[in-house]
Amino acid sequence: MSQAAIRQYDEEDEHLLNAEVDQEVELKAGSEEEAAIADPSIADNAQKEPYYHYTVDTKDPDPWLIMHKNKIITLVILAMTAVAGSLFYKDIKSNELTNAIVAAPQLNDLYYVDFRLIKDNLRPAEKFRMAKVTDITGDVITINFSSYFYLQEHELNEAIRYAQLRYEKFFQEKRHNYKITELQNLIESGAIVLARRPVGDMLDGNVVVPDSHFESNSVFIPGKKENFAGLEYLKLGKDSGKAELALENFEESADLGFVKGQVNLAQMYLNGIAVEKDLHESLVWFKEASLQAYEPAILKYSIVCQQVESCTIEDFYQELVKAGVNIEFTKQVDVRATTKAFERALEEAKR
């Protein structure tokens, strides 16, 4: 059979199939009309039946969302309130901890400082600095600022995370002396943003002291053992009766000429721990350690001397120079710590 004949038969079959479908539709429609004429209630029900037309139009609101709109809005508001409350509570606790640390400072405490609130001649990328408590002499707190500036506060956490504080030069050598009340004023002004206290020289799982801090020295030095024992007694508590034992060990260490023991004994007199507070006796032991060219003792003496009317810092510097002590490093002390007096003492010693 030719292709033309095949196409002709196919077309005829298709026409027959379409005709049969049209006939079925007409019969169905006719039967529905006859049923509606016979029973009018069927037509009414057909008109009342809701008609749902589902489309993919995104502008058409979802009936479920319309029904539960108020509930959804309420849940969102509650979630936002909970998050805001949690952040606010965290800030309150952080501020309380900062105030507590500054009110009772310890060595190696770290302060996050917004330095633009202290000085206004900084570069655009200079804003935050780290500060570290390096010495405590009575109520005078000595801190050293970091050699680096940071634009954002979280970068200070990154400095701890990447162990930058383990470098010897991370903090500047220049010392800045503050009273506790002055540090508290810096908190109120917003200059000290946060205070943190390492535990066992660790913070956030990272070491925050230079590597040289862990260098051991096995050389026997008279008075070293007694000084270490005194420090251990102090760790057990100043009010637990161990402070008296600490004082005895520091006295033994100082009598043996150990400079750190002499400084710790001077601190006991300065703070009135296990002994009556006596600034003059404190100066005596600071001077003993200073004559051995012990830098912390010289710096502490200059701080306490300013609190005693009968103390003359110029005479102290002259005595050190005559004893052959090199005290040029005192130029690194804060301006309030008698740098000019030291320069005058050197000039007089050269004459």
Tens-digit pLDDT profile for residues 258-311 = 999 999 999 999 999 999 999 999 999 999 999 998 999 999 999 999 999 999
**Region of poorest pLDDT, from 58-67, 198-207, 263-272, 304-313:** 58-67
Distance CA 310, CA 261 (A): 25
Query: Domain residues for 158?
Result: 89-212
Same domain, 293 and 345: yes
Measure the CA–CA gap between 286 and 289, rounded to whole angstroms: 5
pLDDT at 113 over 70: yes
Say if residue 201 is in the same domain as residue 158.
yes
Tokens 């007096």 appear where?
A: 341
- Cα four-point dihedral sign 262, 267, 272, 274: negative
Residue 62, in any domain of the structure? no
**Is 53 inside any structural domain?**
no
Helices (H), the chain: 3-38, 40-48, 63-67, 69-103, 154-161, 180-189, 224-235, 242-255, 259-271, 279-290, 295-305, 313-322, 339-350
pLDDT bucket at 4, cuts 50 / 70 / 90: very low
188 plus 247 within the same structural domain:
no
pLDDT level of residue 153 (50, 70, 90 thresholds):
very high
- The answer on 124 and 35 residing in a single domain is no
CATH code, domain with 326: 1.25.40.10
236 with 139, same domain: the answer is: no
- How confident is the model at residue 7, as a pLDDT? 47
State both tokens at 7. 């196409």
* 327 vs 311, residue with greater confidence: 311
Answer yes or no: is pLDDT of 116 > 80.
Answer: yes
In whole angstroms, give the CA distance from residue 136 to residue 144: 12
- Give the end of a domain, one of 165, 197, 212: 212
Is residue 227 domain-resident? yes
The answer on 234 and 331 residing in a single domain is: yes
Q: What percent of the chain has pLDDT over 70?
A: 73
Which residues are paired to 132 by β-bridges? 110, 144
User: Is the domain of 121 the same as that of 187?
Assistant: yes
Q: Is residue 67 part of a domain?
A: no
193 part of a folded domain: yes
Asked if residue 51 is part of any domain, the answer here is no
pLDDT digits (tens, 9 = 90+) for 209-218: 998 777 666 6
- Across the strands, what pairs with 203? 206
Would residue 272 be called left, alpha or beta, if left means φ above 0 and alpha means ψ between -120 and 50 degrees? left
**Alpha-carbon distance 291 to 180, whole Å?**
29
User: Which among 212, 232, 248 is the end of a domain?
Assistant: 212
Q: Does 299 lie in the same domain as 194?
A: no
Query: Quick one: pLDDT at residue 349?
Result: 47
Q: What's the pLDDT score for residue 250?
A: 95
Q: Would you state the pLDDT for residue 289?
A: 95
pLDDT for the residue 240: 66
Is 230 inside any structural domain?
yes
Mean pLDDT across the stretch 30-51? Answer: 53
Specify whether 233 is located in the same domain as 144.
no
- The 10s digit of each residue's pLDDT in 132-146 is 999 999 989 999 999
Give the number of domains in the chain: 3
| pLDDT reading at 33 higher than 80 | no
Together in a domain, 170 and 259: no
Asked if residue 69 belongs to a domain, the reply is no
Query: pLDDT grade, residue 68 (50/70/90)?
Result: confident
**Quick one: 229 and 196 in the same domain?**
no
Q: Do 256 and 240 share a structural domain?
A: yes
Last residue of a domain, one of 149, 181, 212: 212
